[in-house]
A and B are shown apart, each in its own frame.
Chain A
Amino acid sequence: MIDQNSRFVYLIICLIAISACSTSGKRSDTISTINDGILVPDATTKKQESIIIRPTKKTEFISKPVVRNLLKKAKIHSDVMDYDSAINLLERGIAISPNNPILWQNMAAVRLKQGDLAQAKQLAMKSNVLVEADEELRSINLQLINEASRREKVQKLGGSVLH
């Protein structure tokens, strides 16, 4: 089960990491080919033909102060169970940075807390489509999806017992 606090701890770690090395992020986004000419986004994926490395884009996802600010505020609201405000702040972020997987992921996490399991799953899936090479984010999304599915099953079981 994913703990919401750990989600945000993770986020804070990201923020610290970014602020600590915000200038060291010299990234080579170029696609190069080796061997048989197959290009994949990330060497860390399991595909054997993988050739090029695309560095994690996490820094880029939350490098904008405005996105960081909205995420921080969303966390504050989420912590006091004011989920509607948290979602509202994340949506403002999405309007500014529509393909930001961290925002979508946090939306999924807040919806999970609200008990909207179907949306939590869908939003985590949406985040997953946007994470590109970021395995860490992908893994959290999968945890969110699994947790939402688990709770759905529990609900269904509960339902069938009742009926």
Chain B
Amino acid sequence: MKAPSIKFSRWRRIIYPFLILFLIFSFFFVSYMIKLDKQVTEQFEGKRWEVPSRVYARPLELYAGKVISVDQLLFELRLLRYEKSTDNDIGSYLQQDNKVAIHTRPFNFWDENAPSIMLEVTFKRNKILSIKDTNSQEELDVWRLEPLFIGGIYPKINEDRVLLRIQDVPETLINTLLEVEDRHFYEHFGVAPLSIIRALVANIRAGGRVQGGSTLTQQLVKNFYLSSEKTITRKLNEALMALLLEFHYSKNEILEAYLNEIYLGQDGSRAIHGFGLAAEYYFDKPLENLDETQIALLVGLVKGASYYNPRRFSDRALKRRNVVLMVQARAGIVAEEDLVELKDSPLNISKYGPSGVTKYPAFMDLVRRQLNKDYRPEDLSSAGLRLFTTIDPLVQFEVEESIDKRLPKLEQKAKLEKNVLEAAAMVTDAGSGAVRALVGGREFRASGFNRALDSHRHIGSLIKPAVYLSALQQPELYRLNTTLEDSAITITMENGFQWSPENYDKREHGDVALISALANSYNLATVRLGMELGLDNISHTLHALGVEREIAIYPSMLLGAVDMSVYEVLKMYQTLSAQGFQTPVRAIQAVTSSTGEVLSRYPINVEQTLSSEAVYLLKTALQEVAKTGTAKKIYRRMPQSFSVAGKTGTTNDYRDSWFAGMTGDKVAVVWLGADDNQSIRLTGSSGALPIWTDIISATASRSMDIPIAENIIFKRSSAIIHTSGSVKCVENKVFPFIWGSVPSRLEEPPCTEDNLLTND
């Protein structure tokens, strides 16, 4: 009786530890599997939807009467990667003399879906004369070209993809992919032991790695990891995760994820993931438009996108593609008899991929900031939004070109070291406040310090319009021809410090009409006027113009000892341009979801904060700045008939050179300075103004004819006008006045024998 019991207990002694070990192992294994399961499902769910936002520029509107040159239209078409061709394919153009034929691409705007059509645009000098739909032979009133894709908003790891749905993926691609990478995809459970053994044997025979045994599911799991370490543990993990993935998701879900996830190339810091984006990146076409050879190349790249990079190693890529073509022929995806011809065909890749690395980082910075008010950063980088912005690549080009060309010359002229001079500029639409160009530094493509938004510098005389506007808002006291006194003044501050400002030319100019004092940017007259009006009054006007920051109330603020960015200055001048209505400076028009549903619109909103009549008078004075004052150089290069208004700004020791100004359709601000705040030995007129003039003469199409406000009347009156160093008391000069404020004879400046030099 004892023997079996001894035997049993011996067995027990042997088995129990194993059992315990097995239980412990099982416990850890199950825990580990749960951990892996969590990891793999999280990754899968996350990855499936992580699609960066796609950002577009404004669409170019073509219509009869539009001011645009043939060259500018061709420039836009080339940016949009239209090909010059006589074939008349979609996405091609052909220019003949003053006519440009375009076969447009279809595009889904946020407000309508535009089909592809054939256009003929006829030019007369630098204007569009007519646009015709060449199919119907009908004249079109207006046509919008598709907007330029200017970049994506990526998550930190910089992945990009164009989301595909499995039903939209060409069958040829799916069949080729499965044929090459995983023939038994629909049969296995995530891992195919036979394939692994087959691959192992093949690799041993070849003495190296020639064949992979991974299923698509395993490859997908591998893509979830960021590193590419090759260890046994990692391989085991991948296999387990593949099994888990197959347990949770259907084959089609896994295949869809794979098509969107697989790594297929590198564009600078941007990783190209998925076949949708790869089609765009390599062929500049949507996936559904690719032929068999192009699909073969993309499938070939799965094996090693860097090694077979078709732009860098075209021979390797061609060989690899032809291997895939043979597989295609064997599987009946392409006809055997076509194989020779197909193998002989070139790679047909586009010269440059549409880069997702934006050319306009400073503008994108503004886009992000404006969107951050309404969207979480993670949604911007992963929800596949489409962002329609306002930037006009033609205007941006002119701004960049001018800065690029002028800065070295200005450095030479001012005897500055090379690359010391920095620049920032912004251009907006006068009516809508839409930002058309933004430059944040002379390195346009680098996303560094954005001087247009973040560099706050003294604005010098750019502040003077606020002083004069404060005066003109009291029409019974101040008119354009009111005589001001430009003479030395010393102001004692509360702390006992005495401030004695000076004019730029260190002289006093005596009696001067208000309009002339502003046109010539006289400091003494301005300080006297500002002190008369009260500093709080000026501060109030600055806020009404759109300045949001608190302003330190010191007399020196009258000459621009106030720090502002280009963006803030632009807002002020935008309000002036808009007749005293604050119009938000907008970089975004609309945001849609990846399926085209409009999520947000950013319509024009206006708010009147200043009297339109006073602004009318001020703008008349700012026109005088350009006609006869500190900015008269403008008209050396622009026709007198094209009216502009603006103001130069120079700060102490020539640290900053500013020009802010407007036409009938554009508002632009240009700043030059050095990052270390050293003197750049340039005035507003010698530094920023030439750049501003370049930009405006290339992009503005409307002269600034100020709409005459309701209560404005014109009357002849006299005034002491200073031009080019000479002083004249002119009689019978026509001035605008606000109704009810026309000066009586007694209030007009007396023109004596001495100063009555001319009748104007």
On whether the beta carbons of A99 and B664 are closer than 8 Å, the reply is: yes
Distance to closest chain A CB from B702 (angstroms): 7
Distance to closest chain B CB from A111 (angstroms): 9
Known pairs A99-B705, A129-B580; list 14 more (Cβ under 8 Å). A38-B714, A38-B742, A39-B713, A64-B64, A65-B64, A66-B63, A88-B603, A94-B431, A97-B431, A98-B430, A107-B604, A123-B606, A129-B612, A132-B708
On whether the beta carbons of B710 and A138 are closer than 8 Å, the reply is: yes
Distance to closest chain B CB from A155 (angstroms): 19
A98 to B577 CA separation, bound complex (whole angstroms): 11
- B-contact 0/1 string along A28-50, CB 8 Å cutoff: 00010100011111000101010
On whether the beta carbons of A95 and B434 are closer than 8 Å, the reply is: yes
Distance to closest chain B CB from A135 (angstroms): 10
Distance to closest chain B CB from A68 (angstroms): 7
On whether the beta carbons of A126 and B605 are closer than 8 Å, the reply is: no
B712 within 8 A of A: yes
A88 neighbours in B (Cβ, 8 Å): 110-111, 590, 601, 603
Q: A41-B712, A85-B111, A132-B708 are in contact. Are A91 and B604 (CB under 8 A)?
A: yes
Centre residue among B63, B112, B429 by max chain A CB count within 10 A = B63
On whether the beta carbons of A40 and B434 are closer than 8 Å, the reply is: no
A40 to B721 CA separation, bound complex (whole angstroms): 24
A69 within 8 A of B: yes
Distance to closest chain A CB from B661 (angstroms): 16
Which 6 A-B pairs have CB atoms at the shortest separation, nearest pair first?
A: A98-B431, A39-B714, A69-B141, A66-B63, A65-B141, A129-B612
A64 neighbours in B (Cβ, 8 Å): 63-65
28 CB < 8 A contacts A-B: A31-B734, A41-B712, A45-B710, A65-B64, A65-B141, A66-B63, A69-B142, A84-B601, A87-B603, A88-B111, A94-B431, A94-B432, A98-B430, A98-B702, A107-B604, A119-B605, A119-B606, A125-B608, A126-B578, A128-B710, A129-B579, A129-B581, A129-B612, A129-B709, A130-B579, A131-B707, A132-B708, A138-B710
B607 within 8 A of A: yes
A85 to B707 CA separation, bound complex (whole angstroms): 28
Mostly helix, strand, loop or mixed at chain A's interface?
A: helix
B124 within 8 A of A: no
A122 within 8 A of B: yes
A131 to B607 CA separation, bound complex (whole angstroms): 18
Q: A39-B713, A40-B713, A122-B607 are in contact. Are A66 and B65 (CB under 8 A)?
A: yes
B507 within 8 A of A: no
A13 within 8 A of B: no
Question: How large, as a class, is the contact surface on chain B?
Answer: 35 or more
- A-contact 0/1 string along B106-125, CB 8 Å cutoff: 00001110000000000000
What residues of chain A have their CB less than 8 Å away from a CB belonging to chain B?
31, 33, 37-41, 45, 47, 49, 64-66, 68-70, 84-85, 87-89, 91-92, 94-99, 107, 119, 122-123, 125-126, 128-132, 138
B418 within 8 A of A: no
On whether the beta carbons of A95 and B708 are closer than 8 Å, the reply is: no
B249 within 8 A of A: no
A45 neighbours in B (Cβ, 8 Å): 710
Centre residue among B65, B110, B580, B742 by max chain A CB count within 10 A = B65
Distance to closest chain A CB from B169 (angstroms): 33
A94 to B112 CA separation, bound complex (whole angstroms): 19
On whether the beta carbons of B714 and A40 are closer than 8 Å, the reply is: yes
B445 within 8 A of A: no
On whether the beta carbons of A31 and B714 are closer than 8 Å, the reply is: yes
Distance to closest chain A CB from B704 (angstroms): 10
B605 neighbours in A (Cβ, 8 Å): 119, 122
Residue of B with least CB distance to A125: B608
On whether the beta carbons of A37 and B61 are closer than 8 Å, the reply is: no
Centre residue among B141, B578, B601 by max chain A CB count within 10 A = B141
Q: A65-B64, A66-B63, A94-B604 are in contact. Are A126 and B715 (CB under 8 A)?
A: no
Distance to closest chain A CB from B611 (angstroms): 10
On whether the beta carbons of B61 and A95 are closer than 8 Å, the reply is: yes
Residue of A with least CB distance to B63: A66
B580 neighbours in A (Cβ, 8 Å): 129
Contacting B739 at CB < 8 Å: which of A37, A47, A96, A132? A47
Q: A39-B713, A85-B111, A132-B708 are in contact. Are A68 and B606 (CB under 8 A)?
A: no
A64 to B65 CA separation, bound complex (whole angstroms): 8
B716 within 8 A of A: yes
On whether the beta carbons of B64 and A33 are closer than 8 Å, the reply is: no
A2 to B430 CA separation, bound complex (whole angstroms): 29
What residues of chain B have their CB less than 8 Å away from a CB belonging to chain A?
61, 63-66, 110-112, 141-142, 429-432, 434, 578-581, 590, 598, 601, 603-608, 612, 664-665, 702, 705, 707-710, 712-716, 732, 734, 739, 742
A37 to B718 CA separation, bound complex (whole angstroms): 13
Distance to closest chain A CB from B42 (angstroms): 38
Q: A39-B714, A138-B710 are in contact. Are A98 and B432 (CB under 8 A)?
A: yes
A123 to B431 CA separation, bound complex (whole angstroms): 12
On whether the beta carbons of B429 and A98 are closer than 8 Å, the reply is: yes
Q: A37-B715, A39-B713 are in contact. Are A95 and B432 (CB under 8 A)?
A: yes
B110 neighbours in A (Cβ, 8 Å): 88
A122 to B583 CA separation, bound complex (whole angstroms): 11
B581 neighbours in A (Cβ, 8 Å): 122, 125-126, 129
On whether the beta carbons of B715 and A39 are closer than 8 Å, the reply is: yes
On whether the beta carbons of B665 and A98 are closer than 8 Å, the reply is: yes
Distance to closest chain A CB from B422 (angstroms): 31
A89 to B112 CA separation, bound complex (whole angstroms): 11
On whether the beta carbons of B713 and A38 are closer than 8 Å, the reply is: yes
Distance to closest chain B CB from A70 (angstroms): 7
Residue of B with least CB distance to A65: B141
Contacting A37 at CB < 8 Å: which of B430, B608, B716? B716
A87 to B413 CA separation, bound complex (whole angstroms): 49
A49 to B590 CA separation, bound complex (whole angstroms): 49
Residue of A with least CB distance to B430: A98
Distance to closest chain B CB from A120 (angstroms): 11
Distance to closest chain B CB from A56 (angstroms): 13
A74 to B146 CA separation, bound complex (whole angstroms): 21
Distance to closest chain A CB from B24 (angstroms): 64
A38 neighbours in B (Cβ, 8 Å): 713-715, 742
On whether the beta carbons of A84 and B598 are closer than 8 Å, the reply is: yes
On whether the beta carbons of B713 and A126 are closer than 8 Å, the reply is: no
A99 neighbours in B (Cβ, 8 Å): 431, 664, 705, 707
B63 neighbours in A (Cβ, 8 Å): 64-66, 96
On whether the beta carbons of B606 and A126 are closer than 8 Å, the reply is: yes
A96 to B579 CA separation, bound complex (whole angstroms): 18
Q: A107-B604, A126-B608 are in contact. Are A33 and B716 (CB under 8 A)?
A: yes
Contacting B579 at CB < 8 Å: which of A47, A91, A95, A126? A126
On whether the beta carbons of B713 and A47 are closer than 8 Å, the reply is: yes
Distance to closest chain B CB from A93 (angstroms): 9
Contacting A66 at CB < 8 Å: which of B142, B431, B708, B712? B142
Residue of A with least CB distance to B431: A98
A87 to B530 CA separation, bound complex (whole angstroms): 42
A119 neighbours in B (Cβ, 8 Å): 605-606
Q: A31-B714, A39-B715, A87-B603 are in contact. Are A95 and B429 (CB under 8 A)?
A: yes
Distance to closest chain B CB from A106 (angstroms): 12
Residue of A with least CB distance to B714: A39
A49 to B612 CA separation, bound complex (whole angstroms): 22
A19 to B708 CA separation, bound complex (whole angstroms): 27
Distance to closest chain A CB from B388 (angstroms): 10
B601 neighbours in A (Cβ, 8 Å): 84, 87-88
A94 to B665 CA separation, bound complex (whole angstroms): 10
Residue of A with least CB distance to B706: A99
Distance to closest chain A CB from B436 (angstroms): 10
